[in-house]
């Protein structure tokens, strides 16, 4: 079952040799219990393709004891030796750093130069920050809709903000329970409700990507791998902007 995915992934491995990081964004909307497992699954898929991944956690605040993006913006040489041989998957706090680059926009920031040793740079932040960081770009931030009724409102609000305020066209992942599991199933699909509202009120027609939440890891990972490849193919390059201190 996985052979077609592996063959397609082999073609994407050339990204690791280009030394031009690709930007991907995952939107947080208050349902982290549904978002984080998928985010980690995506990172695992990219690493399995031979791609190194830098995750900028917009919910993590940089401190002296736990430095992150803010410290790198102040001193790009902070991780130079480490980035010469990057680990496959790195997560750093980035709340303060993202706030600093939001005025110029992320694509006008020195991220490409800062993380040039990585194949993928993933930004995980809420819709408000992604709107400021990516407004008007060609990137399609991922909005995850887990199978919980509470996700309906928060997912729709995030999608609306990205679409209307950010002029972005989000990708939607619909997490569904495996028919063979005992996971509780809502009376109606949150993703279907979000689709209907987006079509009726925003004129935006969604074709969500289905991710099966299964007790079988291989079943879930197969869906996640397909999503990982689609996100990688629609990612945008982070150009290498001149390094300069961003206040």
Q: What is the mean pLDDT of residues 26-54?
A: 89
> What domains, with CATH codes, occur in the chain?
3-237 (3.40.50.300)
Hey, which bits of the chain come out as E strands?
22-28, 53-57, 89-93, 120-126, 142-145, 171-177, 209-213, 236-237
Task: Read off the pLDDT band of 47 (50, 70, 90).
Answer: very high
Q: Exposed/middle/buried for 78, CB within 10 Å: 0-12, 13-18, 19+?
A: middle
The pLDDT of residue 19: 67
Q: How far is CA 102 from CA 18, 115, 142, 163, in A?
A: 27, 17, 19, 18
- The torsion angle over the Cα atoms of residues 131, 137, 142 and 143, rounded to 10 degrees, is 40
Q: What is the DSSP track for 174-192?
A: EEEE-TTS-----SS-HHH
Non-local CB neighbours of 182 within 8 Å, separated by 6+ positions? none
User: How high is the pLDDT of residue 79?
Assistant: 60
pLDDT given at position 101: 94
pLDDT 10s digits, 181-227: 555 555 568 888 999 999 999 999 988 888 887 655 566 788 999 99
| pLDDT tens per residue, range 115-135 | 998 999 999 999 999 999 999
Confidence of residue 35 (pLDDT cuts 50, 70, 90): confident
Q: Is 155 helix (H, G, I), strand (E, B) or coil?
A: helix
pLDDT of residue 6: 44
For residue 18, pLDDT over 90 is answered with: no
Q: What is the pLDDT of residues 73-95, one digit of tens each?
A: 998 776 654 555 566 889 999 99
By the 10 Å C-beta count (0-12 exposed, 13-18 middle, 19+ buried), 124 is classed as buried
Calculate the average pLDDT of the chain. Answer: 83
- The tokens describing 108, both together, are 């006008």
Q: How far apart are CA 219 and CA 137, in angstroms?
A: 33
Closest-CA residue to 9 (of 212, 217, 222): 222
């Amino acid at each position: 079952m996985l052979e077609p995915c592996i063959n397609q992934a082999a073609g994407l491995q050339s990204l690791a040799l280009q030394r031009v990081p690709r930007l991907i964004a995952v939107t947080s909307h208050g349902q982290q219990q549904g978002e984080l497992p998928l985010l980690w699954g995506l990172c695992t898929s990219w690493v399995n393709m031979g791609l190194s991944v830098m995750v900028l956690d917009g919910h993590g605040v940089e401190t002296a004891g736990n430095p992150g993006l803010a410290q790198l913006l102040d001193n790009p040489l902070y991780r130079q030796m480490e980035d010469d041989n990057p680990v496959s998957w790195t997560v750093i706090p980035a709340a303060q750093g993202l706030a600093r680059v939001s005025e110029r926009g992320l694509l006008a920031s020195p991220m490409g130069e800062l993380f040039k040793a990585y194949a993928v740079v993933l930004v995980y932040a809420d819709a408000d920050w992604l709107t400021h960081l990516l407004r008007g770009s060609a990137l399609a931030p991922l909005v995850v809709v887990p199978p919980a009724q509470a996700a309906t409102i928060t997912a729709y609000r995030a999608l609306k903000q990205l679409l209307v305020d950010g002029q972005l066209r989000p990708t939607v992942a619909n997490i569904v329970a495996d028919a063979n599991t005992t996971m509780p199933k809502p009376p109606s699909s949150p993703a279907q409700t979000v689709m209907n509202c987006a079509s009726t009120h925003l004129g935006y027609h969604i074709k969500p990507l289905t991710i099966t939440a299964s007790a079988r890891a291989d079943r879930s990972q197969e869906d996640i791998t397909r999503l990982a490849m689609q996100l990688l193919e629609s990612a945008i390059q982070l150009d290498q902007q001149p390094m300069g201190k961003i206040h």
